[in-house]
Amino acid sequence: GEDVEQSLFLSVREGDSSVINCTYTDSSSTYLYWYKQEPGAGLQLLTYIFSNMDMKQDQRLTVLLNKKDKHLSLRIADTQTGDSAIYFCAEKISAGNNRKLIWGLGTSLAVNP
């Protein structure tokens, strides 16, 4: 089946690290993505990881992928109030010529000063 699950809410203090977790079910995923959505705005691609990688680091963002457990996480170091948003995990799956993104419901991150 095609399903992506995330916890719905996360609250952290400014300066702390945030860790947002995601699990997926389709083992044929090729890429896994993290998108950020601020209120009333579209989706902004934060980072992505190819399915044969374990880790990717990009400035304050670290993505960890455990393919065996189908678990993906996004760590934001030194979280700032501007990081408050909804974070979506998405997996790209392919079935023949049909390629699509399957999305989680999103994790709402609240950063408290």
Partner 1 sequence: ETGVTQSPTHLIKTRGQQVTLRCSSQSGHNTVSWYQQALGQGPQFIFQYYREEENGRGNFPPRFSGLQFPNYSSELNVNALELDDSALYLCASSWGQGEAFFGQGTRLTVV
Residue 17 corresponds to which amino acid? S
Residue 81 main-chain phi, psi, to 5 deg: -60, -30
CB of 81 to partner 1, least distance (A): 22
Residue 101 in the binding site for partner 1 (CB under 8 A): yes
Q: Quickly count: other Cβ atoms within 10 Å of residue 5's Cβ.
A: 14
| C-alpha triplet 34, 35, 38: angle, nearest 5° | 145
Residue 71 in the binding site for partner 1 (CB under 8 A): no
Comparing CB distances to partner 1, the nearer of 61 and 102 is 102
Scan residues 29-58 and list those touching partner 1 (CB under 8 A): 35, 41-45, 48
Region of 8 (left: φ > 0; alpha: ψ -120 to 50; beta: rest) is alpha
CB of 67 to partner 1, least distance (A): 20
Tell me which stretch binds partner 1 (CB under 8 A): 54-62, 63-71, 73-81, 103-111.
103-111
Q: Quickly count: other Cβ atoms within 10 Å of residue 64's Cβ.
A: 17
Residues 8/110, Cβ–Cβ less than 8 Å? no
Residue 22 in the binding site for partner 1 (CB under 8 A): no
Residue 98 in the binding site for partner 1 (CB under 8 A): yes
Residue numbers at the binding site for partner 1 (CB under 8 A): 4, 35, 41-45, 48, 88, 90, 92, 94, 97-106
